[in-house]
Amino acid sequence: MNSPALEARIDLSAVAHNIEVLQAHTTAALMPVLKADAYGHGAVQVAAAVMSAGAAEIGVATIDEALALRRGGIDAPLLAWLHGSSADFGAAIEADVQIGVSSPRELTAVVEAARTAGRTASVTVKVDTGLARNGVAADEWDELRDGVATASAEQSIVLRGVMSHLVRGDEPGHPLNSLQGERLDEAVADLRRLGVGPEIVHIANSAATLTRPDLSRDLARPGIAVYGRSPAPDLGDFGLIPVMTLSAEVLSVKKIPAGQGVSYSHTWTAPSDTTVALLPAGYADGVPRLLSNTLRVHINGRSFPNVGRVCMDQMVVDLGADGGGVEVGDRAVLFGTGEHGGPTALEWAEAIGTIDYEIVSGIRGRAVRTYVGAPAPIPNGRHTPVAAGPG
């Protein structure tokens, strides 16, 4: 079977390897974060891989993401924590999805949905310990805390967890990391004084999982590291293996004379007679236009530069006067593991002043995801959530 013209190849065995690397750095159980369709890698497939590799639970941003996993046959414990005014808490309760709450208003809505459903909602309180983003604000804490105690007493909810999010996890030695951990512990202690202590507590992201095991509490929530991208590139790759390789078929090869401009506005002009190749990848597929005349690709183990503007659905590379031995039908690696000096998503990111999270999660359009290294089936289709810890 021929490969797609534009392919995002997802190596699920690399996912399993990365889970092993993360687990080796912490004694806490793992809750891999699979939001945004698993950072563009395919949430259902990655969910099966992480659970088969030993993860305890799965985290996503929205209820819709959690429900999509349920429809895909994923029966693992799920937590969703970012909700708009139209969030369907009733559907989450019916699907056994844990609900993150970040305000008294959200708690009230969850309690009402639980009463309507005649079921107890599993709730995780998200505390803002310094990020000033999603999470219970300090001036709403007392109201939220008391509301949790009341709702727990009437059995509308069970307090599954308390969580927060680090501001500077990629700077392991920054004092704010420890301070956020202390603030989280204070919130947990406050709830325990009311007799509603959580079953689990979590704050560590990828960087903290790998560099600050003291912050892991009961669970660690790695995100980008699951996909083989270092959360702190200055500290190395931690032995992680990039999961996604983006490649494109060479659609045409043509000779052009010296002085010939290439692509829109002729931002590159051939300094001498040369040969160029056309690839079916552009900014509609997630190749940033800002990379024009900057990125490189690997074809048959050799590196070739992009020349001219990256267009909506195609780009051009310079093969040199001899054509580099490239033929129509060959494949160009746009980014991947970096093996043999190949291009990486981090290289793209650094070239345009962003992070590789944005690069991999932005691959879209006509890029067809194919999967290799499939995990073993999930035993009995069900995983047991992590047991309560000391918090």
126 catalytic, yes or no?
Answer: no
Answer for the pair 336, 344: CB distance below 8 angstroms, yes or no: yes
Nearest to 229 by CA among 299, 170, 286, 305: 170
- Catalogue the long-range contacts made by 23-26 (C-beta closer than 8 Å, 24 or more residues apart): 23/54, 25/209, 25/210, 25/211, 25/213, 25/238, 26/204, 26/209, 26/213, 26/216, 26/220
Answer for the pair 52, 13: CB distance below 8 angstroms, yes or no: no
Q: Does the annotation list 221 as a binding residue?
A: no
Answer for the pair 201, 127: CB distance below 8 angstroms, yes or no: no
String of DSSP letters for 133-177:
SSSB-GGGHHHHHHHHHHHHHTTSEEEEEEE---SSTTSTT-HHH
Question: What residues contact residue 24 under an 8 Å CB cut-off, 6+ apart?
Answer: none
Question: What residues contact residue 304 under an 8 Å CB cut-off, 6+ apart?
Answer: 277, 296, 297, 298, 317, 318, 319, 320, 324, 326, 332
Q: Which of 39, 227, 254, 264 is catalytic?
A: 264
Tokens read off for 46: 């990655």
255 catalytic, yes or no?
Answer: no
Tokens read off for 374: 């499939």
- Tell me the chain's radius of gyration from C-alpha atoms: 24
Q: What is the number of other CB atoms lying within 10 angstroms of the CB of residue 212?
A: 23
Nearest to 132 by CA among 183, 175, 91: 183
Angle between helices 141-153 and 175-193 (to 10 degrees): 40
Q: What is the DSSP letter of 296?
A: E
Its sign, for the CA torsion 381, 386, 388, 391, is negative
Q: Which of 35, 227, 283, 371 is catalytic?
A: 35
Q: Does the annotation list 133 as a binding residue?
A: yes
Positions at the binding site: 133, 312
Task: Give the annotated binding-site residues for substrate.
Answer: 133, 312
| Residues identified as active-site | 35, 264
